[in-house]
Chain A
């Protein structure tokens, strides 16, 4: 089955800095890569996703890049703000098929004011 590795497990940055979270996956059949944000005590919620036919996708201060050859994808957050502090999960799945996504272990992002 699919295996998703996520690094780092904790990331501490100063407000205004950029943050990068990296994930690798093992199954070359995976073609859908969502990122979820979980604030303290809340449920995970989708913030951005990318499909395998796209190399990069941006939404305001967040962007996701995908390297299919190397089987890794990354979340980039620019101009971080304290409200970006949360746990971020990457996932990989065969979107469109009868497959449940596999999640990474999560990255706790702390943005210091």
Chain B
């Protein structure tokens, strides 16, 4: 049981380049999300999905695209990288929970992205 797996762990991009951060989970979770973490800013939600075929914007969606064609995968695409997108990115998943149970979020190990 691998949990949430995201790749790559480290990446350096040039301004204007595009790339995709991969995320996969093997816990059959309905919810998946992408966060970016910057010093003093906490975890800010980029995009999220409540099920295959359904995505929605979070707090900071500009410059990013997502898709959810399967329950397991939720890739994050940087369309035209900018220095402001230098950050640590975390993919996460959780189940729907119930009124009496937790919906614990499980995070991937993080992807350190530098845009020069």
Contacts and interface: CB of A to CB of B under 8 A. Distances in A.
Interface stretch (B16-24, B62-70, B76-84, B100-108): B100-108
Interface in B64-116: 90, 96-105, 107-110
B58 to A, nearest CB: 7
A100 B45 contact: yes
Contact of A43 (B41, B102, B110): B110
A55 B97 CA distance: 20
B101 to A, nearest CB: 7
B43 A103 contact: yes
Contacts of A89: 42-43
A97 to B, nearest CB: 8
Interface residues of A, number: 25
Contacts of B98: 96
Contacts of A36: 105
Contact of B108 (A32, A43, A49, A96): A43
Contacts of B103: 32, 93, 95-96
A34 B102 contact: yes
Interface of A: 6, 9, 32, 34, 36, 42-46, 49, 51, 89, 91, 93, 95-96, 98, 100-106
Interface of B: 31, 33, 35, 40-43, 45, 48, 50, 58, 90, 96-105, 107-110
Given A102-B45, A105-B42, 17 more contacts: A6-B42, A32-B102, A43-B90, A43-B109, A44-B43, A45-B107, A46-B104, A89-B42, A95-B99, A95-B101, A95-B102, A95-B103, A96-B100, A96-B101, A98-B50, A100-B45, A106-B42
The 5 closest A-B pairs by CB, nearest first: A105-B42, A43-B107, A96-B99, A103-B43, A106-B42
